[in-house]
Structure 1
Amino acid sequence: MTMPPLVPPAGGLDADALARYSRQLLLGEIGVSGQRSLAAARVLVIGAGGLGAPVLLYLAAAGVGTIGVVDFDVVEKSNLHRQVVHRDADIGRPKVDSAADAVAALNPSVTVRTHHVRLDQDTVGDLLAGYDLVIDGSDNFATRYLVNDACVAVGKPLVWGSVLGFAAQVAVFWDAAPDGSGVQLRDVFPEPPPEGSVPSCAEAGVVGALCGQAGSVLAMEAIKLITGIGRPLLGRVLVIDALAGRWDQVEIRRGDPGPGSSAPVAVTPPVPTVSPIEVDLPVAGSIFLLDVRGPDEFAAERVTGSVNLPLPDLLAGDLDGVPDDRPILVICRSGRRAEVAAASLEARGYRDVRVLAGGLDSLAPA
């Protein structure tokens, strides 16, 4: 069902705007009135990462008047294959700053508000107060539920997305939807999954082009809500399977207990875990055991005698303590990060590098 425009038309369009958005103005559903709504809209984008990057560019290109971007991270080289608002020269800069520069270069008429803050219970309410609509492109469950609950509390619509590996999900959550069809994130997933049960992008990987697919959908949903056109993804979760070239949707209602076996919308199955005890690996003592997982993972369980060097640090060239005169066995949870680390070591001249096939999961008792 079509909603009324979230943002009433305001102001006029000057000659530059009429030329810039001419192809969009030709669409009867948008027209001059819809473009004036876009110009008056204030949209807050959570995250300037894989999803947030295409969202920011397409909102700016469409003429959304005020765009806020929230991110506490700085640009890293491993971001660049998918976070298309950042450039190689931006490495080390706050993401909000390089994102703002990209938006300004694309459309200088857009006002960009940067929020280089860490979202928490103390900051989220004040941030949301200045915006009409929120788009969540964050990459962790704590932030997703924090933003959802804050939007529910103040009655704001939330355009939500998630991406991992070759799978993505997009939905619109609006608990206070004017037609009474309101749903929120907790109607689909009542509680966050147990910590460690779903891998992060740093653990499982993600393909950049899929971020572009899902991010474009997020931007389109925001445009539809702002201008009151089309049928928003309210009460539906769009599920994208990039490898199969398949787009499906799952209907949801207020109070649904979450998807069951007939509605498989989980991005990936949980990764099996090993009990948090040290495991012994029968290898010769001359082999250097290099664990490239994160510090928290390493603290919870490790191979006896292994040394921790997180993959991002290794890829950045921090190889202090990694010998080049001994065979190296690289270890991670599933073997994926270890393969990347091994390739990087070989590219840097290390001659005898091996990978623990299947990672620590292969050592789990049957």
Structure 2
Amino acid sequence: MLVPKMLQVAATAAISLMVSAGSPALADEPIKVKVLIGAMFEIGENTGDRAGEFQHWYERYFSQSKPIPVKGALSPVYCNDDGVCGSVLGMGKVASSSSIQAIILSPQFDMSEAYFIVSGVAGTPPERGTIADVSWATWLVDYDLGHRWAPEEGEPGAPTFMPRKGYEKVRLFQLNPDLVGWAMQLTGKINLKDSESARSYRMRYPQEAAQRAPAVKTGTHMTGDTFFHGPGMSAQAQYIAKLYGADDYLITEMEAAAIAQVVQRTLGDHRLLSLRGAVNFDQGNPNETTLEHLDPAPGQTAGGFAETVDNIAAVGSRMVDHIVAHWPEWQKGVPPLPRQ
């Protein structure tokens, strides 16, 4: 019959038009990601106000990019035309790792060849670092996966931590030494910003490392949801790092080991970097208690926050720009380090 046939032809044409026009999620090719930058928080807007962890990245790479909502992620993803993407993942292990998993698994992106830079502010022990330092992680260690007890309930002077069996594969991650080597070769000599308030604050600490000008370093990043503080807890962090076979504990942060576990399970962690800037010491100076250092009086904070978040992006962008500019060499994996 003629009328039903005409209706059938019209319906087929309409379906064809819908498929060809399609929604972006169905019709568009996934964005091929070369580098994904993950920050943990932003203070206010992405630009135009006081900068948190993401603003300098946003202004360098994403000011012309539209937000891409991702189901399950804390914040939208921004991508530029060069394949550089970035997002605010959230603070702590759960928020950050769930966001990165949602982004990796989203069909809007092709992450199969992506490099990851987890970036943000952190603390450092005064024996090894100072305010406004920037550090590339060599190892990521989870501070929390074990047993703890009050010092008075154990042997005097003995450690108050014991690893829990069953977490061996998720408590320690060695990041690709060649990739870390590239990062240091490209960024190790960058002159970092500093502030008068940070220079003055450093002098409260007797340790030589604490009094030095900021620099780009490498070391173990310790991930813990608990904001541990004081010389005793700092010594415990170093004890755990050495117990697991990592190198010197240099950074205390809250996310990287959890993010590494997600990246490792989905894509492999050989393209992962952790980049942190020190905005506080993990303990007070000899003239203050731990509680006094945790809750400082007005005007007694470390200073240098603005300079540190700028330093993080300045250091990290050198690595991002190199990967993108030399993508044919980096696409299939980390190239061999050139001889110096």
TM-score, normalised by the number of residues in structure 2:
0.27
Q: Which has the higher contact order (CA 8 A, sep 6+)?
A: 2
Structure 1 length as normaliser, TM-score? Answer: 0.25
